[in-house]
Amino acid sequence: MKTSTIRIAFLVLASALLVMAGTSCRTFRGFGRDVEHVGSHIERAAR
């Protein structure tokens, strides 16, 4: 019983980490686009 509980807890934790990793990649990609967009506005204002 204790082993299966530990195994389930480990699987839940591993699944949560994978989901967080996938989400953070998407978030950083979006952040990069936002920074690029702001940079283009700054370049246009500097001309």
pLDDT, tens digit (0-9, with 9 covering 90-100), for 2-29: 778 888 889 999 998 888 777 766 677 7
Torsion over CA of 39, 43, 45 and 46, rounded to 10 degrees? 130
Residue 41 has pLDDT above 70, yes or no: yes
Q: Is the pLDDT of residue 37 over 60?
A: yes
Number of residues that make up the chain: 47
Whole-model pTM: value is 0.49
Q: Taking the CA atoms of the chain, what radius of gyration do you get in angstroms?
A: 20
